[in-house]
Amino acid sequence: MTGEEFKKIRQKLKLSAAALGHALGYKGRDKNIAVTIYRLESGRPIPVTVGRLLEMFDAYGVPRAWTGETAQRKYAAQPKWSGPSGFWQKIGEQLEQLAKPQLMLDTTATPPSKDSQQAMADIAKRLSELIGERSSC
């Protein structure tokens, strides 16, 4: 990862240099952390683990709790995660859909034919026979 790519991801995440530094695990005063991030953006070698973590942040967002006190105060009313636009909202909607009961009656469906009813009865009978064979073992 280059310093230019590093900076683009930070800007895309809308994080200050200090907030990104905190999220990456750097400790100290915000000013010193920001200087470290600016150095990485200006061409200093970026450790592989830092680059991979930044790529993960780019794909999935950054936990606000990791961004330091200043960023937490600034974004207190915002969602707890930053991330790709609408990503966490979509995940929440999908989880809500999974939580809803899945039983829905289709009133437009045609009833099964006598042949398919017989086939279903045969399958049910064979399954119960197999279950009976297994339980006797």
Contact 67, 15 (CB under 8 A): yes
Q: Taking residues 82-110, what's their average pLDDT?
A: 57
Cα 113 from Cα 94, distance rounded (Å): 35
Residue 125 lies in a domain: no
- Tokens, residue 80: 């707890």
pLDDT digits (tens, 9 = 90+) for 1-50: 999 999 999 999 888 999 899 889 898 898 999 999 999 999 999 999 99
Cα 51 from Cα 49, distance rounded (Å): 5
Residue 44 lies in a domain: yes
Instruction: Please say if the pLDDT value at position 95 is more than 70.
Output: no
Residue 59 lies in a domain: yes
Q: Taking residues 87-97, what's their average pLDDT?
A: 62
Cα 24 from Cα 66, distance rounded (Å): 8
Q: Give percent of the chain with pLDDT exceeding 90.
A: 28
DSSP, res 80? S
Cα 72 from Cα 64, distance rounded (Å): 6
Residue 123 lies in a domain: no
Buried b (16+ CB within 10 A) or exposed e, 62-76: bebeebbeebbeebe
Give me the number of domains the chain comprises.
Answer: 1
Residue 96 lies in a domain: no
More confident residue, 85 or 38: 38
Q: Give the pLDDT score at 66.
A: 76
Cα 9 from Cα 56, distance rounded (Å): 10
Residue 77 lies in domain: 3-86
Bridge partners of residue 63, in order along the sequence: 81
Residue 29 lies in a domain: yes
Q: Give the pLDDT score at 117.
A: 72
